[in-house]
């Protein structure tokens, strides 16, 4: 079970702290399809990144099949990180534009030194996963800008699944895509789920999609222990959090650029 | 009155290292003042290329054939200065993402006025008109003017770009994926604002892959598949009973209907077949579909459909 308990996360902003997630608890079982809904800025993506071990929370705990996570991001052990994989909303921003589609799919395996790119096993895995997500082999040789958004999102799904995760988090997987491509991606996930007992957390604005595809649906506003802010505030918080993250980045750059 | 915006046999091809990408093939549509046309299709079907061609925003590696006329004036091949003038005075684009289309390090007041002045208004006129427009949208110009885009909520940001598009009283407004990534409440707000724009008498072209938004906005719909318009008709008729098999299969893929994908993928735009581009994926395919390219044939309810099923009518 992937278990997030009383997770809190805030970002530094010009006027103090912006609280993105406030004491939210969520559990995802293996083989389960759980939907997570809520308006823009309600903290869905922040919670997703915490649950994928990419972002350290300020407070709260995360356990993956009983293993408690204490270090986050690149310092977290690959073996633990591989158990939970995240697919992002915008595939164009999620892959390195300099890698060919096939290289992008293999990148997680190569980066974690599980396999070397020239291993024969890589080619087998690549073709296997390309087929499962519905990509033709000639597309694997292309660069991201030479394939459509839908094809690239299929590649991102393959890239997440190639490390054999136990849990998959889809953060607005299909909000940029047409309904047929959306259905194709969900069919691919369902097929893998049936075979590997994958737990899937589907984050979406689309309540109809969540209700029809997921066994259970949670609203992030009901997960938080101390919520109660209005939705307009939530959108504003979202925008402020982005601005805060951006200015922190710029400040970091400036610091690095300064002479010692 | 004659159609205000007329697109006739418009073809657009990009020269790339993989050969010529045929992004749009012989597209013809016309939008009357006050009319709303939805352009719907999957990514890579040619929707955005159509919008960018109308606004002459295409890169250099492009070949364009056909005609785009605004109030009788041919836009393709117009001298750059005349084109800029015409675009500034008569056309407007509502960009895909309000937050990233405005400058994040300048306050909004200056940007709004700059945009209005580019449309030929004096500073005084610009202020007056922006005040009135934002007021109608429930925003106060003095409050907004001193703020940065990130300080506003998503709904407010959307209203800012709408006001900016309307300030020059354009004849044609083009909205490119106005709701992508928005939550359902903001989609509703945006839809209401788009209808308001159309009610003011502008010709409105909305590019979207969001079928629910399309149904909500009504008007007319052009369905694109692999660079061609495959169905053109009243939106209500499309949602009632699509005339083209692609339209029918697309609606079936909606989660509230069957959530069933269409097997296979659209053909590569570098190697479009000489026959119906949907034939390989079409459940109704017959011999002729893989032999010849269908025209747009009249189907019931005033719809045109690029399918041999309707050829006999």
Complete DSSP assignment for A202-247: EE-S-HHHHHHH-SEEEEGGGTBTT----HHHHHHHHHHHHHHHHH
Q: Per the domain annotation, does B201 fall within a domain? A: no
In a domain, B18, yes or no: no
The predicted pLDDT at position A254 comes to 47
Q: Is residue B298 one of the residues assigned to a domain?
A: yes
* Residue B251 falls inside a structural domain: yes
Does A239 have pLDDT greater than 70?
no
Q: Residue B2: its pLDDT value, please?
A: 45
- pLDDT given for residue A225 in this prediction: 57
pLDDT per residue as tens digits for the range A106-131:
999 888 877 777 788 889 999 999 99
Q: What is the pTM of this model?
A: 0.86
Residue B287 in any domain: the answer is yes
Spatial contact of B253 and B260, defined as CB atoms under 8 Å apart:
yes
Asked whether the beta carbons of residue A246 and residue B104 sit closer than 8 angstroms, the reply is yes
For residues A35 and A199, the answer to whether their CB atoms sit within 8 Å is: no
Domains of chain A: 1-83+166-251 (3.40.50.300), 92-164 (no CATH)
Q: Which residues pair with B305 in a beta bridge?
A: B231, B297
Q: Which residues of B touch A (CB under 8 A)?
A: 16, 18, 41-44, 99, 104, 148, 150-155, 157, 180-186, 209, 211, 249-250, 253-256, 259-262, 265
Q: ipTM for the complex?
A: 0.85
pLDDT at A248: 53
Instruction: Specify the higher pLDDT residue, A171 or B182.
Output: A171
Whether B1 is covered by a domain: the verdict is no
> Which residues of A fall within a CB distance of 8 Å from B253?
178-180, 182-183
Query: Does B261 contact A180 at a Cβ distance shorter than 8 Å?
Result: yes
* Domain count along chain B: 1
Range of the domain at B275: 219-313
pLDDT at A199 > cutoff 80:
yes
Inter-chain residue contact B255 with A213, CB threshold 8 Å: yes
For an interface test with B, give the residue of A183, A189, A240 to mutate (most B CBs within 10 A): A183
* Nearest CA among A48, A91, A54, A88 for reference residue A69: A54
**Contact flag A177-B256 (C-beta cutoff 8 Å):** no
d(C-alpha A39, C-alpha A41), whole Å: 6
Q: What is the 3-state secondary structure (H, E, C) of A60-95?
A: EEEEECCEECCCCHHHCCHHHHCCEEEECCCHHHHC
Residue B151 domain flag: no
Helix axis angle for A101-111 and A149-161, nearest 10°, is 20
Does residue B133 fall inside a structural domain? no
pLDDT per residue, tens digit, chain B (313 aa), is 446 899 999 999 999 888 999 999 999 999 999 999 999 998 888 888 999 999 888 888 999 999 999 988 999 989 989 998 888 889 999 988 788 889 999 999 999 999 999 888 999 999 999 999 898 888 899 999 999 988 887 778 888 988 898 898 899 999 998 887 777 877 888 898 899 888 888 999 999 999 999 999 999 999 999 999 999 999 999 999 999 999 999 999 999 999 999 999 899 899 999 999 999 999 999 999 999 999 999 999 999 999 999 997 6
């Amino acid at each position: 079970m992937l278990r997030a308990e009383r997770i809190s996360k805030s970002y530094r902003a010009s006027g103090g702290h912006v609280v993105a997630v406030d004491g939210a608890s969520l559990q995802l079982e293996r083989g389960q399809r759980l939907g997570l809904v809520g308006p823009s800025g309600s903290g869905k993506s922040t919670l997703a990144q915490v649950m994928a071990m990419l972002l350290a929370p300020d407070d709260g705990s995360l356990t993956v099949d009983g293993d408690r996570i204490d270090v986050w991001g690149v310092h977290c052990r690959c073996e633990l990180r591989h158990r939970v994989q995240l697919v992002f909303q915008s595939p164009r921003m999620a892959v390195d534009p300099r890698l060919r589609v096939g290289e992008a799919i293999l990148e997680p395996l190569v980066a974690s030194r599980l396999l070397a790119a020239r291993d024969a096993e890589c080619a087998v895995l690549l073709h296997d996963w390309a087929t499962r997500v519905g990509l033709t082999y000639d597309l694997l040789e292309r660069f991201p800008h030479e394939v459509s958004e839908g094809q690239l999102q299929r590649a991102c799904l393959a890239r997440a699944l190639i490390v054999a995760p136990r849990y998959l988090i889809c953060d607005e997987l299909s909000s940029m895509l047409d309904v047929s491509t959306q259905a194709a991606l969900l069919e691919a996930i369902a097929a893998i789920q049936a075979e590997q007992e994958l737990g899937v957390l589907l984050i979406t604005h689309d309540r109809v999609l969540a209700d029809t595809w997921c066994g259970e649906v949670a609203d992030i506003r009901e997960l938080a222990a101390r919520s109660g802010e209005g939705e307009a505030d939530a959108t504003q918080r979202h925008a402020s959090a982005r601005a805060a993250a951006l200015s922190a980045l710029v400040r970091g750059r400036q610091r690095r650029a300064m002479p010692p | 009155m004659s159609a205000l915006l007329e697109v006739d046999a418009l073809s657009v091809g990009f020269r790339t290292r993989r050969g010529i990408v045929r992004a749009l093939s012989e597209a013809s549509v016309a939008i009357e003042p006050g009319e709303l046309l939805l352009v719907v299709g999957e990514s890579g079907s040619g929707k955005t290329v159509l919008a960018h061609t109308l606004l002459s925003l295409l890169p250099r590696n492009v070949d364009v054939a056909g005609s785009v006329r605004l109030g009788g004036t041919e836009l393709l091949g117009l001298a750059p200065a005349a084109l800029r003038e015409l675009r500034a005075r008569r056309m407007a684009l509502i960009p895909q993402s309000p937050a990233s289309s405005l400058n994040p390090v300048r306050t909004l007041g200056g940007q709004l006025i700059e945009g209005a002045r580019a449309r030929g208004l004096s500073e005084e006129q610009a202020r007056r008109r922006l005040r009135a427009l934002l007021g109608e949208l429930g925003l106060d110009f003095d409050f907004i003017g001193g703020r940065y885009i990130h300080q506003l909520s998503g709904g407010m940001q959307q209203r800012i770009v709408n006001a900016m598009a309307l300030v020059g009283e354009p004849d044609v407004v083009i909205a490119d994926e106005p709701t992508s990534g928005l939550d359902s409440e903001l989609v509703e707000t945006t839809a209401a604002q788009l209808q308001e724009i159309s009610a003011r008498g502008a010709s409105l072209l909305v590019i979207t892959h969001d079928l629910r938004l399309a149904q909500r906005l009504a008007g007319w719909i052009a369905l694109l598949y692999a660079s061609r318009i495959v169905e053109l008709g009243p939106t209500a008729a499309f949602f009632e009973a699509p005339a083209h098999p692609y339209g029918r299969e697309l609606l079936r893929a909606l989660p509230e209907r069957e959530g069933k994908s269409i097997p296979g993928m659209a053909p590569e735009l570098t190697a479009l077949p000489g026959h119906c581009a949907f034939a390989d994926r079409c459940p109704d395919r017959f011999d002729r579909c893989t032999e010849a390219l269908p025209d747009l044939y009249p189907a019931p309810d005033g719809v045109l459909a690029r399918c041999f099923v309707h050829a006999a009518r």
